Structure 1
Amino acid sequence: MVLRTFNLKLVGLMIGSIILIICIGLSIILGYTNTSIETSMAAFRAFDGSNEHLIIQNVRLPRALIGAVVGSSLGIAGAMMQALTKNPLASPDIIGVNAGASFFIVVAVMIFSITSLQAFTWIAFLGATITVVVVYFLGSLGREGLTPIKLTLAGAAIAALFSSLTQGLLVLDESSLDQVLYWLAGSVQGRKLDILYSVLPYIVVATVGAFLLANKINILTIGEDVAKGLGQRTGMVKIGAGIVIVFLAGGAVAIAGPISFVGIIVPHIVRWLVGQDYRWIFPYCGVLGGILLLIADISARYVIMPEEIPVGIMTACIGTPFFIYIARKGVRSS
């Protein structure tokens, strides 16, 4: 733990928030179309209808805000999942949020010929919600009720099932592949603020819920028997945590598609900074998750310029070495 005292943690959170704001500004300024700080400020203070001002207002500002919100949501959801499953490699992927949302999107395109991004948002949110409910139900079967290992196994099984069904459907209808491929890769490009506004209330409620559950999660991570001995209703805490994960991870996937590794990387960095107290972990994950996704998105604009790669591919490139490091560290410690 690097930041050991309350004051250091508070200062660190303030610095992180400032860096997040700077990253939002850089996301608005940087890209294929050359703009400057002055041009960006003028786009909001004295809009003149020029190409640069239109790009800043209609493309880059929504992209920056969506990137910050999605990254923050994935960071907090990943930390909540790792606490709930006691699995250091847990992320929204592990309970099938990405796979469930992707499957529902592909079904909507193939069967109902839906191609609207606005429609994709609600379909993906519905798919993510149904997936988590099914995983929780399967993980609760048996005499012991909901346990971390059963939740993890149920999530992995459902994720594999939906992924296989999605691939099978796409093989049967290649025309659908062209329509959903960019969404399946995960991207914040081309999203409008309307999409963000439609999901934002759920994300805000879930974020507040995560902060309210933080102290109960601290007790639960010590051990379920200890938590019950202290009078905690562990079943209700797990259900509350599941609702938080649905809203955060489902909302993020609904907006930007399945973006991997943010929910794995960020909680580990945060625990290295502030330790195991989830009252600090959740706020830090929100800030650092937004920073990571914005940096990945800015980098994705320059890799093959003038073309761009989806941010989901960039986060995978960043996260894969980190994932391998964590996995090898876990093997050595075991």
Structure 2
Amino acid sequence: MVLPLVAAIAVLGLAAIGSLLVGAQPVGVGSALRVLFADDRSDAAVIVHDLRMPRTLLGVCTGIALGLAGALMQSLTRNPIADPGILGVNAGAALGVLVAVVGFGVAGFSGYVWFAFLGAMVSTALVYLIGTAGPPTTAPVRLVLAGTAVGAALVACTEGIIFLDPKAFDEYRFWIVGDVAKPDLTVTGQFAPLLAVGVVLALLLGPALNALALGDEIGGALGVRIARTRVLTGVAVLLLAGSATAAAGPIAFVGLVAPHLARPVTGADQRWLLPYSAVIGAIVVLLADILGRVVLPSGELRVSIMTAIVGAPFFVVLIRRKRATA
């Protein structure tokens, strides 16, 4: 298990290097290494330090967060096609952005990142309140249904605000198309502490989630506090997916794809699946971002568009396989 994880981390390192080199203005390996550790204000230094380094770091952080959150959601709901959006994270964050723009006149990612996170937090809490009311044995199903219902209601509120205040759409549209190309490290600096707490919490939950996968009765007999484990898992998903969505906007399919790419190596063991999903999630985001820079003769495709182009066929194949298995 360790050697494949080391190999995955090495691939992530290569993807990060590629993210620094590839773009509208290519930078050679020698030039990148020279300006990376030197006080240089050449064109190559400006491209690497001011443009691609913040983009690469945010891409890595976003991929780690979404990959981990996806693995946690699939374990929590016992649903192999679950992703963080089931808890209403994306819908809540979107509404938070609009409230910031319309209600407080906030502009720019660094201004409304906290409003987006607050919206994600409120929506997740609401889904949990609805989804955990009742017999604990049906909690995973109720969470999915509650998330779908709350998400639909929040989307309706968002569309209503846009309809009443079309000017808000000008700011909102830049956030809703998820992207990691931010002009500086401010957003990543705001995001990183939440990511760190979420990663530590997620990794600590691995053994409890393994026991819970055997069923509530067996998990309880093994000493797992079922309600607490579910709540802490939800908190971890919020910290990871909420902060990533707030920082980079909605980026679909990463949380779905990463755990499925990890399972052929790790199996269902959450102690290994979680770190593998984090690394693979970061690789997926960086590779999608790199492809988005070169796929068009001029201009770029945002990373959320690239993950959707790759992730949608993956989702269809996954559904067909699950249906055939059933």
SS at match of 2:205: helix
Identify the residue that residue 42 of structure 1 maps to in structure 2: 34
Shift of 1:169: 2.0
Q: Which of 60, 64, 67 is 2:56 aligned to?
A: 64
Normalising by structure 2, we get a TM-score of 0.96
Alignment of 1:198-217 (within 5 A): 198-217=190-209
SS at match of 1:147: helix
The question of whether the paired residues in 2 share the 8 Å contact of 1:182 and 1:310 is answered with: no
Shift of 1:212: 1.0
1:286 paired with 2:278, answer: yes
Alignment partners' CA distance in 2, 1:231 and 1:301: 50
Alignment deviations for residues 257-315 of structure 1 (CA, whole Å, 9 cap, x no partner): 11010000111111122211011101100110000000000001112243112111110
Alignment partners' CA distance in 2, 1:321 and 1:210: 28
CA RMSD, aligned part only? 1.4
Q: Which of 84, 87, 96 is 1:95 aligned to?
A: 87
1:223 paired with 2:215, answer: yes
The question of whether the paired residues in 2 share the 8 Å contact of 1:76 and 1:285 is answered with: yes
1:15 paired with 2:15, answer: no
SS at match of 1:304: coil
Identify the residue that residue 251 of structure 1 maps to in structure 2: 243
Do the aligned partners of residues 146 and 47 (structure 1) sit closer, same or farther apart at CA in structure 2, a change above 3 Å counting?
Answer: farther
Shift of 1:256: 0.4
Alignment partners' CA distance in 2, 1:265 and 1:212: 22
Shift of 1:204: 0.9
Q: Which amino acid aligns with 1:285?
A: S
Greater mean deviation of Cα atoms: 45-54 or 317-326: 45-54
Q: How many residues matched? A: 326
Identify the residue that residue 328 of structure 1 maps to in structure 2: 320
Identify the residue that residue 51 of structure 1 maps to in structure 2: 43
Q: Which of 170, 174, 177 is 2:166 aligned to?
A: 174
Greater mean deviation of Cα atoms: 106-115 or 203-212: 106-115
Shift of 1:143: 4.3
Alignment deviations for residues 231-256 of structure 1 (CA, whole Å, 9 cap, x no partner): 21111111111111111001111110
Identify the residue that residue 151 of structure 2 maps to in structure 1: 159
Shift of 1:99: 0.9
Identify the residue that residue 3 of structure 1 maps to in structure 2: none
Q: Which of 180, 191, 198 is 1:188 aligned to?
A: 180
SS at match of 1:222: coil
Runs (5+) with no aligned partner, structure 1: 1-8
Alignment partners' CA distance in 2, 1:146 and 1:40: 54
Quote the sequence identity (%). Answer: 36
Identify the residue that residue 316 of structure 1 maps to in structure 2: 308
Identify the residue that residue 5 of structure 1 maps to in structure 2: none
The question of whether the paired residues in 1 share the 8 Å contact of 2:137 and 2:216 is answered with: no
Alignment partners' CA distance in 1, 2:183 and 2:218: 46
Alignment partners' CA distance in 2, 1:192 and 1:246: 24
Identify the residue that residue 307 of structure 1 maps to in structure 2: 299
Do the aligned partners of residues 120 and 288 (structure 1) sit closer, same or farther apart at CA in structure 2, a change above 3 Å counting?
Answer: same
SS at match of 1:34: coil
Alignment partners' CA distance in 2, 1:244 and 1:272: 24
Alignment partners' CA distance in 2, 1:53 and 1:146: 56
SS at match of 1:301: helix
Shift of 1:120: 1.8
Shift of 1:45: 2.9
The question of whether the paired residues in 2 share the 8 Å contact of 1:102 and 1:124 is answered with: yes
Shift of 1:190: 2.0
Shift of 1:191: 4.5
Normalising by structure 1, we get a TM-score of 0.94
Shift of 1:146: 6.9
Do the aligned partners of residues 101 and 146 (structure 1) sit closer, same or farther apart at CA in structure 2, a change above 3 Å counting?
Answer: farther
Shift of 1:166: 1.5
Q: Which amino acid aligns with 2:39?
A: F
The question of whether the paired residues in 2 share the 8 Å contact of 1:139 and 1:145 is answered with: no
Shift of 1:178: 1.9
Runs (5+) with no aligned partner, structure 2: none
The question of whether the paired residues in 1 share the 8 Å contact of 2:50 and 2:183 is answered with: no
Q: Which amino acid aligns with 2:195?
A: I
SS at match of 2:197: helix
Q: Which amino acid aligns with 1:190?
A: K
